[in-house]
Amino acid sequence: MAARARGWILGLAVVGLVAAAASSYVHYQLVNDPTYTSFCDVSETVSCTQLYQSRYGSIAGIPVALGGVFWFGVVLLLALAEAKGPSSSRENVAAYFLVWSTVGLSVAMYMAYASFFVLGTFCLLCGIVYVAVIGIFLLSGTGTSTPLLTLPGAVVRDVGLLARRPVGLLVTVMFVGGMAALAWSFPEPRSPSGLPPGLGPDAADNVGSPSPSSADQRSEFERYWAEQPQVDLDVETEGSDVIVLKFNDFQCPACANTQLAYAPIFQKYASSHPGSVRLVLLDFPLDPSCNDQSPNGPHAFACDAAVAARLAREVGDAVGERMERWLYSNQETMTTDTISSALDEIAGIDRDRMAARYDDVIQEVRSDIALGAALPVEATPTYIINGVLIKGGLSPQFFDQAIAFELERAGH
């Protein structure tokens, strides 16, 4: 293989390894900390969390990202073998690169398909991995290599040579052993209180249909749920068995992330249990201009955002949802002017109409704030599921388990 091609492969392998390792770290944090917010969750369609926590994110409980670490590690080992191995083995490395890169490309393209066309999301870290894999595949075809039909025999001979080279064997064994230890020790999902997986599905396809669980798991979940703070709020059920209240701030990144993470759960319950689960959005902007409970609140335009969302909902539910998506997606650049322009474009409500309605609507926002202050709400988001108070939200699998449990208690 040409020195330039080998250099590019090494560079791409290092970049891909860093991205795969970062993906593994994010996946680990999502499993261990239900309130963790990934740095690569940018918007509804650009999100690492949705892919990692979907059925495509793990195989037998092992993150696919760890497979990426292993794949790029093997690429680096092959590059080391070509540079330092015996001359009789070096001529086979180009063939090994071609076969290994073909395997990697197949997996990467499948994951890209699942991400883009099945889940409708894009993972930034995964995108870096895809580019690195494609580049390595293209460069692998530039070298002369052993004919593929003779490759099995070459593998046997080279493994024998490796076994007689202590340094190479030690490096290989340490790498494979380390990867096996990481995969073996990767933790199972647990809640902040140490709750192990119990009621409810782990796979996205089974949302709303609790998977079988042992009596001990069921009992442990019940104890966990019973230990959470309980509040009594007078909210119209409208015939729903599970009422989910969310005290929200449209300028709050965690509020945007939970909305993004929980949207598929609510959508699937709407399909599997029509009318049984109802989400009620309550405003609690951390903006001192309308919230006396937050005199040092950091979100200077959250009150305007709450008013804009309410005005858009008056036009129609679909328009309200579009406005909410815009607010969540434009938190960093949000100003009174941008909010007004977006409201005009999305809902047809111009600046003058918003100003004319502002005083009346802000009183509705303050009513929600007063309700939250009585609990008290200390941060956003704060969720209440059938009276059970959850501060900051839960990881999607536990949020789903909570709703599934409440539905089961209601006789579903």
Q: What is the largest CA-CA distance in the chain?
A: 84
The overall average pLDDT reported for the chain is 82
Cis upstream peptide for 274 (omega within 30°): no
Query: Token digits for 108?
Result: 């990467």
If we measure between CA atoms, which residue out of 97, 86, 27, 96 comes closest to residue 56?
Answer: 27
What is the DSSP code (8-state) at residue 199? S
Amino acid 218: pLDDT: 59
Q: What is the pLDDT of residue 104?
A: 92
Q: Where are the domains of the chain?
A: 3-185, 204-409
- Residue 350, pLDDT score: 95
Whether residue 202 has pLDDT greater than 60: no
**What CATH number should be reported for the domain whose range is 204-409?**
3.40.30.10
pLDDT of 29 above 50: yes
DSSP state of 238: T
- Comparing 43 with 174, the larger pLDDT belongs to 174
Is residue 395 a contact partner of residue 378, using CB atoms and an 8 Å limit? no
pLDDT tier at 146, thresholds 50, 70, 90: low
How many angstroms separate the CA atoms of 406 and 358, rounded? 38
Q: What whole-number percentage of the chain has pLDDT above 70? A: 84
Q: How confident is the model at residue 156 (pLDDT cuts 50, 70, 90)?
A: confident
- Per the listing, tokens 């340094």 go with 167
Residue 176: pLDDT above 80? yes
pLDDT in tens, 341-376: 999 999 999 999 999 999 999 999 999 999 999 888
Output the pLDDT for position 236. Answer: 74
Domain 3-185 carries which CATH code? Answer: 1.20.1440.130
Per-residue pLDDT tens over the stretch 286-336: 999 999 988 878 889 999 999 999 999 999 999 999 999 999 999 988 999
- Do the beta carbons of residue 132 and residue 12 sit within 8 Å? yes
